[in-house]
């Protein structure tokens, strides 16, 4: 009875069943093999540092200086190498436009060390700040960044118990 319904369903919708073979599934490595491969990666990274090919800070991700809740559309970033300023700026612009952000302002400092983007705020600034932070943090060319809108005064923090 079930085979009849299955056949009718396949014929009507034109579907084919997938094979359930396990040969296409990824092989799960035992814990000791995973540990060996992680040690090999660490040794390789240490050898690269010892040879002077990379610096320790090159392995870190870009750090957000202020808080993710400070996002109001502006992002300032500092590059490790100013020669890559135009390339990094173009990559950020391409990514942001692909993800649906609207770039209102884009600047690079005269020496190329500092870049700035100002995005139009959308429906959910919290989600936008997380997406921007996630993308910029993983860029190895960027040393650190912060959410800041240029030309906007910082709100003053009033004390909790003002004197009367």
Is a pLDDT exceeding 60 seen at residue 30?
Answer: yes
pLDDT above 70 covers a percentage of the chain that reads: 62
Give how far Cα 24 sits from Cα of 21, 27, 30, 33, 132, Å. Answer: 7, 9, 18, 21, 36
- For CA atoms 123, 129, 130, 135, the dihedral sign is positive
- State the pLDDT at residue 69: 80
pLDDT tens for 59-112 read 456 777 777 788 888 999 999 889 999 999 999 999 999 999 999 999 999 999
- State the pLDDT at residue 58: 47
- State the pLDDT at residue 19: 60
Is a pLDDT exceeding 90 seen at residue 157?
Answer: no
Q: Kindly state the average pLDDT of the residues 7-12.
A: 74
- State the pLDDT at residue 25: 54
- Other beta carbons within 10 Å of 142: 20
The structure's pTM equals 0.57
């Amino acid at each position: 009875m079930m085979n009849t319904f299955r056949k009718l369903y396949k014929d009507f919708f034109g579907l084919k069943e997938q094979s359930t073979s396990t040969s296409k599934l990824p092989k799960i490595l035992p814990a000791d093999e995973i540990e060996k491969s992680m040690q090999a990666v660490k040794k390789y990274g240490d050898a690269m540092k010892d040879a002077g090919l990379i610096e320790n800070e090159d392995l870190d991700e870009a750090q957000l200086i202020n808080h993710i809740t400070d996002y109001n559309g502006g992002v300032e970033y500092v590059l490790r190498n100013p020669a890559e300023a135009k390339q990094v700026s173009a990559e950020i612009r391409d990514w942001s436009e692909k993800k649906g952000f609207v770039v209102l302002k884009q600047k690079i400092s005269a020496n190329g060390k500092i870049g700035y983007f100002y995005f139009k705020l959308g429906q959910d600034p919290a989600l936008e700040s997380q997406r921007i932070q996630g993308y910029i943090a993983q860029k190895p060319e960027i040393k650190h960044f912060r959410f800041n809108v240029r030309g906007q005064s910082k709100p003053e923090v009033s004390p909790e118990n003002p004197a009367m």
